C-alpha cells in the first residue's frame, strides 16, 4: 500500500511540474496574472544605449503579443490568406511547428492592421488563440490541433476581434461576435464542447481579468455597453455596470483587480474604481472614486504600491493614487498620439513601450516622473507587449519577432 501511495505521489508531482508556470514565463495577455507584472527579469543597474540583437525572424503581420512558456515561444500572425499559429525555439527563433487555416481578411477602417491582435493563452499543455474574424483554436503545445470553432460566423466588432482569451479551470473563455450580437463563451479546453455562454452584451476590444470574491471566481471585462463580472463555473452574471463608449472612444483596456476593487477606464470617461461586495444572495458594485482627467484607452496601467502608472489616451505618462483616484502627476510629453502602448512592472523600474518602438524606462515614484533610459527596440511600429525574461526582451513588430538582450 505504501508503494502505491509513493507511485501516486510521484505521478502527481510530475503532472504538477508539467503544468506549472516558471518565473520567467509569459503565458498569456499581460503575463502570468494578467496584471503586467514581470517575474524573473533582471533589470540592469545602468541601462545601455542599445540592446544586443540575438535573433530576428519574419513571422507575418499582426499585433498579438507572443506567449513564452519554457523554451517555446508561441506566435500568432497572418501569412497571406491564412492565420498562422507558430511555435519557435526561444533560444534561436527557429520554427518548431506551424498550424495554419484560411481566415477572412480584415476590411474597412481596420485594414491597416490585417493580422491578429489577440494574444495566445497557454495552460495545461494547450494553446488557445482567437483570430480577427472570431475563430477560436486549441492546439496541444506540440502542435496537434484539438479543436477549432467559429461561434459567430461573419459577425465581428467594427475593428474586428481584439480580445485575448483566458484559460480558467479547464475552460477556454472568449468574448466573440459583434455589436448587438455577441457572447462570452466558455469551451471545454480538451474537447471544445460549449459549457456555457452569457449573451446579453457583445464585445468591444477589451480582454478580461480574473477575480475571486467570497470564493466565487469570475472573469471581469468591459463589453460594448459596460463592465460585467461573470462566474467562471456556470456563466452566471454576478454584477454589471454601464460604461458605454461614445463618439471616438472604445472599451479596450483590461480591468485592474486589487482584492475586491475593480479599476476600469476608457477615453472620454476617465478612470473609475468600484468595490465588489456581497448583497443579499448576489454581488453588487459600489463606486469608490472617479478620475475624469486621465483616460487610458489602448493602454492598461500597472498597479504598483497603491499607485497606477500608465499612458493616457493622449500619450502622456501618468501616476494616479489607486486608493483615492487623485492624480499624482502627468508628464507633459506625449509619447504616442493615439495612446497606444504597453506598460510593465519589472520590479526596480517601470517600462512603457509606445507604438514608436522606443522603450521608456522610468522609476516607480508617485512624486514625479523620473526617466531612467530610452532604448530603441525596432525600426517599425510595435503594438504588442514586450515579453521579458532573464536578460531577454522579445518584441513583435508588424512583420517580425526579435529577441534582444541586455549585456
Q: Where are the domains of the chain?
A: 23-405
Which superfamily does 23-405 belong to?
Answer: YVTN repeat-like/Quinoprotein amine dehydrogenase (2.130.10.10)
Comparing CA positions, the residue from 128, 113, 243 lying closest to residue 176 is 128
Claim: this prediction has a pTM higher than 0.95: no
Q: Is pLDDT above 60 for 9?
A: no
Rounded CA separation 131/113 (Å): 13
pLDDT digits (tens, 9 = 90+) for 224-237: 999 999 999 999 99
Residue 21: band (very low, low, confident or very high) from pLDDT cuts 50, 70, 90: low
Share of the chain above pLDDT 70, in %: 95
- Residues in Cβ contact with 292 at an 8 Å cutoff, skipping those fewer than 6 apart: 269, 270
- Residues in Cβ contact with 10 at an 8 Å cutoff, skipping those fewer than 6 apart: none
Q: Is pLDDT above 60 for 20?
A: no
Residue 23: band (very low, low, confident or very high) from pLDDT cuts 50, 70, 90: confident
Give me the mean pLDDT over the 210-218 stretch.
96
pLDDT at residue 4 in the model: 43
Q: Is pLDDT above 80 for 315?
A: yes
Comparing CA positions, the residue from 280, 274, 180, 269 lying closest to residue 223 is 180
pLDDT at residue 17 in the model: 40
The mean predicted confidence, pLDDT, of the chain is 93
Q: Is pLDDT above 70 for 6?
A: no
pLDDT digits (tens, 9 = 90+) for 364-402: 999 999 999 999 999 999 999 999 999 999 999 999 999
Q: Is pLDDT above 70 for 19?
A: no
pLDDT at residue 14 in the model: 40
Torsion over CA: 321, 326, 329, 331 (sign): positive
Give me the mean pLDDT over the 250-269 stretch.
97
Give me the mean pLDDT over the 350-370 stretch.
97
Q: Is pLDDT above 70 for 286?
A: yes
303 touches 263 (CB < 8 A): yes
Q: Is pLDDT above 60 for 15?
A: no
Amino acid at each position: 500500500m505504501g508503494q502505491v501511495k509513493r507511485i501516486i505521489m510521484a505521478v502527481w508531482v510530475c503532472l504538477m511540474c508539467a503544468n506549472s508556470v516558471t518565473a520567467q514565463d509569459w503565458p498569456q495577455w499581460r503575463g502570468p496574472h494578467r496584471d503586467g507584472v514581470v517575474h524573473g527579469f533582471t533589470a540592469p543597474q545602468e541601462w545601455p544605449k542599445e540592446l544586443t540583437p540575438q535573433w530576428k525572424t519574419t513571422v507575418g503581420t499582426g499585433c498579438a503579443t507572443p506567449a513564452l512558456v519554457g523554451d517555446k515561444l508561441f506566435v500568432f500572425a497572418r501569412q497571406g490568406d491564412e492565420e498562422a499559429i507558430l511555435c519557435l525555439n526561444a533560444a534561436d527563433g527557429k520554427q518548431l511547428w506551424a498550424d495554419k487555416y484560411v481566415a477572412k481578411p480584415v476590411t474597412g477602417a481596420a485594414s491597416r492592421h490585417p493580422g491578429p491582435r489577440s494574444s495566445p493563452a497557454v495552460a495545461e499543455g494547450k494553446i488557445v488563440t482567437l483570430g480577427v474574424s472570431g475563430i477560436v483554436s486549441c492546439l496541444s503545445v506540440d502542435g496537434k490541433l484539438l479543436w477549432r470553432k467559429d461561434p459567430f460566423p461573419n459577425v465581428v466588432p467594427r475593428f474586428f476581434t481584439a480580445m485575448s482569451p483566458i484559460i480558467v479551470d479547464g475552460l477556454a473563455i472568449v468574448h466573440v461576435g459583434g455589436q448587438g450580437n455577441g457572447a462570452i463563451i466558455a469551451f471545454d479546453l480538451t474537447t471544445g464542447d460549449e459549457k456555457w455562454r452569457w449573451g446579453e452584451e457583445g464585445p468591444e476590444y477589451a480582454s478580461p481579468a480574473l477575480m475571486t470574491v467570497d470564493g466565487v471566481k469570475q472573469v471581469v471585462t468591459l463589453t460594448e455597453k459596460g463592465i460585467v463580472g461573470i462566474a467562471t463555473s456556470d456563466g452566471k452574471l454576478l454584477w454589471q455596470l454601464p460604461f458605454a463608449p461614445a463618439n471616438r472612444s472604445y472599451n479596450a483596456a483590461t480591468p485592474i483587480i486589487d482584492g475586491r476593487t475593480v479599476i476600469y477606464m476608457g477615453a472620454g470617461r476617465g478612470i473609475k474604481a468600484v468595490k465588489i461586495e456581497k448583497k443579499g444572495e448576489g454581488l453588487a458594485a459600489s463606486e469608490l472614486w472617479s478620475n475624469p482627467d486621465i483616460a487610458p484607452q489602448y493602454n492598461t496601467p500597472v498597479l504598483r504600491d497603491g499607485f497606477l502608472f500608465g499612458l493616457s489616451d493622449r500619450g502622456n505618462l501618468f501616476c494616479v493614487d489607486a486608493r483615492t483616484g487623485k492624480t499624482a502627476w502627468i508628464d507633459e510629453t506625449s509619447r504616442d498620439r493615439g495612446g497606444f502602448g504597453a506598460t510593465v512592472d519589472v520590479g526596480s523600474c517601470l517600462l512603457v513601450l509606445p507604438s514608436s518602438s522606443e522603450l521608456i524606462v522610468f522609476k516607480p515614484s508617485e512624486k514625479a516622473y523620473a526617466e531612467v533610459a530610452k532604448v530603441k527596440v525596432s525600426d517599425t511600429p510595435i503594438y504588442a507587449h514586450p515579453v521579458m525574461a532573464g536578460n531577454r526582451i522579445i518584441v513583435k513588430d508588424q512583420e517580425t519577432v526579435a529577441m534582444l538582450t541586455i549585456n
